[in-house]
Amino acid sequence: MLGPRVTYEGATQPVLCTPYNFGVNAIFLALIPYTVVTALHDTHLEVALILGTIFSGVIILIGIIFRFSGGYRTWPYALELFMLVVNAVLLGVSYPEPDKIKKYLPFISNAFYAAFALISIMMTIPFSIQYVREFVPSSAAMHDRLVRAAYTTASLWTITFVANTLLYLVPICRNREQEHSHALNLVFRIILPIFLALFAAIFTRLWPVRVMQHLAGSAGFDGAFRKVVVNPLAVMGDAMGLTPPPLPEGPYAMGGPPRPLQVQAIGA
C-alpha cells in the first residue's frame, strides 16, 4: 500500500538549463578566444587580439546569464577571467611594439597560462576544480576523488601550455617564423597548439565522469550528491491513515544478534 518514500535528484531536475547540460561543457568556451588568437595572430595580430578580448568578455557575460538561470554552479571561472586579462594586456602592448608581439605572442601567452595553471596547483586550488565541480552538487564538492580529478586535469593543462610554449621554438630555431605558409610555422605555431588544447578540454570534460560514476555507486557521503526528497504518494498514504507494516519480532528483530538459547538435557 505504501510506495517508496524517496527519489533521486536526477529524476526531479529540469531538463534544460542545469549544470549537467551547460556547466559540464563550460571548458569548451574557454577554447574560443584561445583558438582565435592562436590561429590569426601570425597574419592579423590586432584583429586576433581584438577578437580574443571580445570573445573573452562575451563568454563572461554568457556566464552571468547561465549562473543566474541555474546552468552554471561554480562561475566565475578563473581561466576565463585570466584569458580576458592576458588578451587585453597583449592588445594594449601590441600597438607600440607590433612586430615583437607578433613574433613572441605564442611564447608569451602560453607561458602566462602555464604559470597560471602551475601556481593554482601549488596553491592546492587547481583551477580546473571549478569545471570538475559542475558534475556534482556542492554537497560532494570536496570529495577526495573529485579533488584528485581536478589535480589530474589541471596538470594536463599545465603540460599542454608548456608544450605549446616549447613548440613555438621549432620554427624560431629554423628561422621560419616569418613565413606564414611554411609547414613548420603552420604545424608548430598554429595547428599543434590548438589540437593539444582541444585534447586537454576533451579530457577535462570526460575524466570527471569516472568520479560521477564512483559517487553514484557508493553510499554515505559518496552518494551525497543525490538529494533525498519526499515522495508525495507516500505522504498521501500517511494522510489516509495507512500504517506501515509492523516490525518483525523475535531474536532477529531490527537486525540485532540472535539471543542465546539454553538447552537442558532431561535424564530418564
| 242-261 tens-digit pLDDT | 555 555 555 444 444 555 54
Which of the pair, 3 or 205, is modelled with greater confidence?
205
Residue 46 to residue 186: CA distance in whole angstroms: 19
41 in Cβ contact with 49 (< 8 Å): yes
Please report the sign of the dihedral spanned by the C-alpha atoms of residue 199, residue 204, residue 210, residue 216: negative
- Write the single-letter amino acid at 241: G
Given a cut of 70, whether residue 18 has pLDDT beyond it is yes
223 in Cβ contact with 6 (< 8 Å): no
What is the pairing mode between strands 229-230 and 6-7?
antiparallel
State pLDDT tens for residues 110-131.
999 999 999 999 999 999 999 9
pLDDT value of residue 238: 52
Neighbours of 81 (CB within 10 A): 14
DSSP H stretches of helix in 181-268: 183-186, 192-206, 208-216, 232-239
Indicate the DSSP class of residue 257: P
Instruction: Rank 91-100, 115-124, 173-182, 245-254 by mean pLDDT and report only the highest.
Output: 115-124
